[in-house]
Amino acid sequence: MLVTMSGVRLSYGRWPALDKIDMEITRGEFLVISGASGAGKTTLLRLIWMGDKPDSGFVEVGGFRSDRIRRRELPQLRRKIGIVFQDFRLLHTRTVFDNVALPLQVSGTRNRTVQKRVISLLARMGLSHRRNSFPHELSGGEQQRVAIARAMVAHPVLLLADEPTGNLDPEVSREVVELLLEINRGGTTVVMATHDPRQVPAGKGRFLFLDRGVLRGADRWTELDQDS
Amino acid sequence: MDRTGSGLMSFIRSAVREITLNLHFRPGARLITLLMVALAFVVFNTFLIISWNLQSIMDREENLVGMEVFLQRDISPGEGRVVGDLISSLPGIKSVYYVSPQEAEALFRAELPGRTDLLDVMGSDFRLPASLQIAFETEAMSQERMSELSRTIGAIEGVKDAVYGENYLPGLIKTVITIRRLVILLGIVLVSSISLVVFYTVRLSVVRRSLTVNIMRTVGAPWWFIRVPFVVEGVFMGMTGSACGLALTAVLSEVLSGAVTHRFMPLSWMTLVILLGAVTGTVGALAGSYEKER
Ligand SMILES: Nc1ncnc2c1ncn2[C@@H]1O[C@H](COP(=O)(O)OP(=O)(O)OP(=O)(O)O)[C@@H](O)[C@H]1O
Ligand SMILES: [Mg+2]
């Protein structure tokens, strides 16, 4: 099991953002977590990369347990996880190359290795011609592809994508989802949070629905499908 | 996760790169921060210069608070020095200076040039009595200690009389002590407020880059990798800020030197000022990065 959540509850103020979360994520799967705005999708992903800890219960990721992990072990955990955000979160003072190279540089990878890996990854993602551009010179779709490249460059076992298509038009969104599916076919476990699960074709993944902080299983997917 | 191609040197090289990238980021914002720090230090430095000058004025005043011990006429210079040594071994005595009859006469002629006829009238055999000029340690400068010391000294064989400024002494001591206390109090207030100004200014400039810190966290940067650039920034800002403050104060001091005669602060104080800048800057930067890193 790659991720296990057991009896997880997390409150910001009076109301729980997440409650009674029990779930597992197996290696190699493509998990889609959907739910309305404020349902707790971002919070759930934060718990997985341990940007927050649950008030009760625990989260276990790749052998690290939220209630036992030490501060200095957090970087080790996070190097196994790639994260993609709705707002890309690129460093706007650095080039595409430097943004993608960041996870390798912060783990002390040799310069030659960094060069090789970043260049080949940019080529595979069709971003070679953009390697010396700055983020603001790119389209939204290109920026998100740079962010995905950054998330993938250190060969993580788990890719978390929080509303990765939220700022993109439908055409580009399809491309991004296709890219994530391809990454998943390469063996990386992918967890994608979205308010619109129809972006991922049925049968291509497992679907979970978050309803005001509580997980509802997959049945909601069919309901949504029938609504449309 | 593969550990191949990992190495300390690569780590250090990346960290250094991170530091230089960081220092090149938003020069305008950095300039404003520097200016804030420098201005805060101008206020502080002005206080330092005033208290430094006040200090030397008070030292001079205190040196005037001495005791004059007149020796008996039949005392030889050798015996006079023995009395002097005896007195200087008493607690609370800073220095004893032996004034020979010849020196006394020279002093008399120098200080009262109009009355040298008095000496001439006394004839060539006349000699003024030899005396000892005594200066005290600060802690001995109280009414009780002074009168006690004058009694002790007066009882020493060969001493004719011990004279000190009984009337103005208590007032002077009280004033000096009060001024000292005020200066120390004001100094504490100023050091704390300048530390806070530098702390918050530098912290703010770090927090402004919370996005960078957040991204660093999510890509798995170790805590030191995130903080070292900010610490370097803090040291840099604190030191250059306080150095600019010193330079500005020096210019100010130069401009005003015609109107108010004063001395600039000593080198050791300047070093401390820059150190204060560096320390508060570092603490501010650390606090700023700590807030955003978990
Ligand atoms: N840092 C925070 N402080 C206070 N409340 C928070 C914080 N983060 C999230 N919340 C609250 O927790 C709940 C879940 O938020 P979360 O961001 O996880 O929702 P979401 O499903 O990602 O929504 P969206 O689709 O809008 O991104 C919301 O009610 C939100 O207001
Ligand atoms: Mg969200």
Average pLDDT over residues B123-144: 77
- Nearest-CA residue for ligand 1 atom 26 is A37
Per the model's pLDDT, the better-predicted residue between B21 and A207 turns out to be A207
Reported as a pLDDT band with limits 50, 70 and 90, residue B3 is very low
Q: Which residues touch A32 (CB under 8 Å, ≥6 apart)?
A: A192, A193, A194, A197, A200, A205, A206, A207, A208
Task: Encode A8-43 in three state secondary structure.
Answer: EEEEECCEEEEEEEEEEECCCCEEEEEECCCCCHHH
Q: Which of A106-110, B98-102, B143-147 has the lowest mean pLDDT?
A: B143-147
Reported as a pLDDT band with limits 50, 70 and 90, residue A207 is very high
Write down the pLDDT at residue B103.
84
Strands A81-84 and A158-162: parallel
Write down the pLDDT at residue A161.
97
Interface test with A, best of B8, B219, B225, B293 (most A CBs within 10 A): B219
**In the structure encoding, which two tokens stand for residue A24, read together?**
């597992």
User: Which residues in A lie closer than 8 A to residue B16 (C-beta atoms)?
Assistant: none
User: For residues B163 and A111, what is the distance between their CA atoms, to the nearest angstrom?
Assistant: 83
Write down the pLDDT at residue A42.
95
pLDDT at B35 over 70: yes
Select from B39, B153, B179 the least CA-distant residue to B91.
Answer: B153
Write down the pLDDT at residue A66.
96
Write down the pLDDT at residue A91.
92
Residue from the list B6, B211, B214 with its beta carbon closest to the beta carbon of A109: B6
Mean pLDDT of chain A: 91
Write down the pLDDT at residue B67.
81
Mean pLDDT of chain B: 82
Residue type, B258: G
- State whether residue A109 sits within 8 Å of chain B by CB: yes
Reported as a pLDDT band with limits 50, 70 and 90, residue A88 is very high
pLDDT at B69 over 60: yes
User: Residue B138, by phi and psi: left (phi above 0), alpha (psi -120 to 50) or beta?
Assistant: alpha
- Nearest-CA residue for ligand 1 atom 24 is A37
Instruction: For ligand 1, pick from A14, A43, A84, A210 the residue to mutate: most ligand atoms within 8 Å of CB.
Output: A43
Write down the pLDDT at residue A227.
47
Tell if the CB–CB gap between B1 and A79 is shorter than 8 Å.
yes
User: For residues A54 and B114, what is the distance between their CA atoms, to the nearest angstrom?
Assistant: 95
Q: Which of B161-165, B195-199, B226-230, B237-241 has the lowest mean pLDDT?
A: B161-165
Reported as a pLDDT band with limits 50, 70 and 90, residue A52 is very high
What pTM was computed for the model? 0.72
The residue of chain A nearest to residue B3, with distances taken between CA atoms, is A109
Q: How far is A151 from chain B (nearest CA, A)?
A: 8
Does the C-beta of A37 come closer than 6 Å to ligand 1? yes
- Nearest-CA residue for ligand 1 atom 16 is A40
| Domain boundaries, given as residue ranges, for chain B | 15-59+186-293, 66-164
pLDDT at B205 over 80: no
Q: How far is A87 from chain B (nearest CA, A)?
A: 11
| CA B33 to centroid of chain Cα atoms | 27
Q: Which residues touch B236 (CB under 8 Å, ≥6 apart)?
A: B23, B281
Q: Which of A29-38, A69-78, B195-204 has the lowest mean pLDDT?
A: B195-204
Q: Which residues touch B129 (CB under 8 Å, ≥6 apart)?
A: B70, B71, B72, B73, B101, B104, B160
Q: Which residues touch A48 (CB under 8 Å, ≥6 apart)?
A: A3, A59, A61, A81, A158, A160, A191
> What is each CA distance from B80 to A95, A106, B72, B74, in whole angstroms?
86, 79, 9, 10
User: For residues A82 and B219, what is the distance between their CA atoms, to the nearest angstrom?
Assistant: 7
Residue from the list A103, A110, A112 with its beta carbon closest to the beta carbon of B220: A103
| Dihedral in degrees, nearest 10, Cα atoms A81, A84, A85, A90 | 110
Name the most confidently modeled range: B1-15, B101-115, B151-165, B269-283.
B269-283
pLDDT at A118 over 60: yes
Name the most confidently modeled range: A19-23, B30-34, B84-88, B197-201.
A19-23
Name the most confidently modeled range: A121-125, A222-226, B24-28.
A121-125
Tell if the CB–CB gap between A109 and B216 is shorter than 8 Å.
no
Average pLDDT over residues B203-232: 85
Write down the pLDDT at residue B211.
83
Residue indicated by tokens 């997390």: A10
Percentage of chain A modeled with pLDDT above 70? 95
Q: In the Cβ-directed half-sphere of B105, how many Cα atoms lie within 13 Å?
A: 16
User: For residues A30 and A181, what is the distance between their CA atoms, to the nearest angstrom?
Assistant: 8
Work out which ligand 1 atom sits closest to the CA atom of A195.
25
A156-185 per-position pLDDT tens digit: 999 999 999 998 999 999 999 999 999 999
The backbone torsions φ and ψ at residue B276, rounded to the nearest 5 degrees and listed phi first, read -60, -45
Residue from the list A93, A102, A112 with its beta carbon closest to the beta carbon of B219: A102
Residue B211 burial by Cβ neighbours in a 10 Å radius (0-12, 13-18, 19+): middle
- Helices B267-292 and B223-256, interaxial angle, to 10°? 150
Q: Please, what's the b/e burial string for B29-43 (b: 16 or more CB within 10 A of its CB; e: otherwise)?
A: ebeebbebbbebbbe
Q: How far is A82 from chain B (nearest CA, A)?
A: 7
Q: How far, in Å, from the CA of A18 to the mean position of ligand 1?
A: 10
pLDDT at B283 over 70: yes
pLDDT at B140 over 80: no
Does the C-beta of A38 come closer than 6 Å to ligand 1? yes
Write down the pLDDT at residue B5.
47
DSSP-assigned letter for residue B292: H
Tell if the CB–CB gap between A106 and B216 is shorter than 8 Å.
yes
User: Which residues in B lie closer than 8 A to residue A75 (C-beta atoms)?
Assistant: 220-223
Interface test with B, best of A110, A158, A162 (most B CBs within 10 A): A110
The residue of chain B nearest to residue A80, with distances taken between CA atoms, is B1
- Ordered by where they begin, the domains of chain A are 3-69+81-198+216-227 (3.40.50.300)
pLDDT at B168 over 70: no
Q: Does domain B66-164 have CATH number 3.40.50.620?
A: no
Write down the pLDDT at residue B2.
43
pLDDT at A5 over 50: yes
The residue of chain A nearest to residue B214, with distances taken between CA atoms, is A89
Residues of B with CB under 8 A from a CB of A: 1-2, 4-8, 10-11, 13-14, 17-18, 21, 24-25, 211-212, 214-223, 225, 294
User: Residue A40, by phi and psi: left (phi above 0), alpha (psi -120 to 50) or beta?
Assistant: left
Output Rg (C-alpha) for chain A, integer angstroms.
18
User: For residues A158 and A155, what is the distance between their CA atoms, to the nearest angstrom?
Assistant: 9
pLDDT at A129 over 60: yes
Per the model's pLDDT, the better-predicted residue between A117 and B290 turns out to be A117
User: For residues A197 and A204, what is the distance between their CA atoms, to the nearest angstrom?
Assistant: 11
Select from A200, A225, A209 the least CA-distant residue to A39.
Answer: A209
Average pLDDT over residues B116-140: 78
Tell if the CB–CB gap between B5 and A113 is shorter than 8 Å.
yes
Tell if the CB–CB gap between B6 and A108 is shorter than 8 Å.
yes
Task: Give the number of the ligand closest to the Cα of residue A43.
Answer: 1
pLDDT at A143 over 90: yes
**A171 close to A50: Cβ distance less than 8 angstroms:** no
Beta bridge partners of B131: B70, B99
